Structure 1
């Protein structure tokens, strides 16, 4: 297998995260939403509960930089909340709830990627 670039690894992890969310019944509304303050990896909706779900995807090929919990610092959570607020401000639809999730995708240690899904990190 040829080695992948960081961007390719990130894109693969994001695609696996999107597939995981869809298996949970969520509808993906947007991917890689950008504004001047940053980027949201995945924005999904849980139509059953009318919840907007903002997902940060962390893809790793080793444990060198820590696990999913270490990847999302309080500063990162604040930034995600701000970005989520900006995205919501541009929407017509009202949401009953808003949630920020983190999905960690670990590639390479096992034959199939390992997915860790932390819900409502704030």
Structure 2
């Protein structure tokens, strides 16, 4: 997958890489870009009886802050709040355990293959 285009297009590419990686590791996609209130969660996935809310972060190699480090406490709080709204609006999700994962995608500046770092239960 070429890594180019607008920031929004690159974000979609990173989300697609993350989705594929997580599905290869046994998770099932429930929703993509799930919105509730003013927030959005990149991927909502499931493994057995666990809902997994996934925040995808992408950065180029050599960036001042790595993809994983770019997740602020404020963003974590917003993801938690959005997840709470989503769960309360879906009866099937209300008795499920919830987990918050981060998938950090690091893209080489030379156009090589992106590195994917999956951080389960990250926050």
| Same-fold status (TM-score > 0.5) | yes
SS at 2:14 equivalent = helix
Deviation at 1:41, TM superposition (A): 0.4
2:40 equivalent in structure 1: 39
Deviation at 1:69, TM superposition (A): 3.3
2:88 equivalent in structure 1: 89
Deviation at 1:3, TM superposition (A): 4.1
Deviates more, 1:61-70 or 1:15-24: 61-70
2:75 equivalent in structure 1: 76
SS at 1:115 equivalent = strand
SS at 1:12 equivalent = helix
Q: What's the TM-score once normalised by structure 1's chain length? A: 0.87
Q: Deviations over 1:85-117 (max 9, x none)?
A: 011111122444110001011123462210011
1:55 equivalent in structure 2: 54
Partners in 2 of 1:23 and 1:2 — Cα distance?
A: 21
Partners in 2 of 1:111 and 1:3 — Cα distance?
A: 12
SS at 2:112 equivalent = coil
Provide closer, same or farther for how the CA distance between residues 46 and 64 of structure 1 changes in structure 2, counting only shifts above 3 A.
Answer: same
1:30 equivalent in structure 2: 31
Q: Which runs of 5+ in 1 are unaligned?
A: none
Q: What's the TM-score once normalised by structure 2's chain length? A: 0.87
Deviation at 1:64, TM superposition (A): 2.0
Deviation at 1:71, TM superposition (A): 1.3
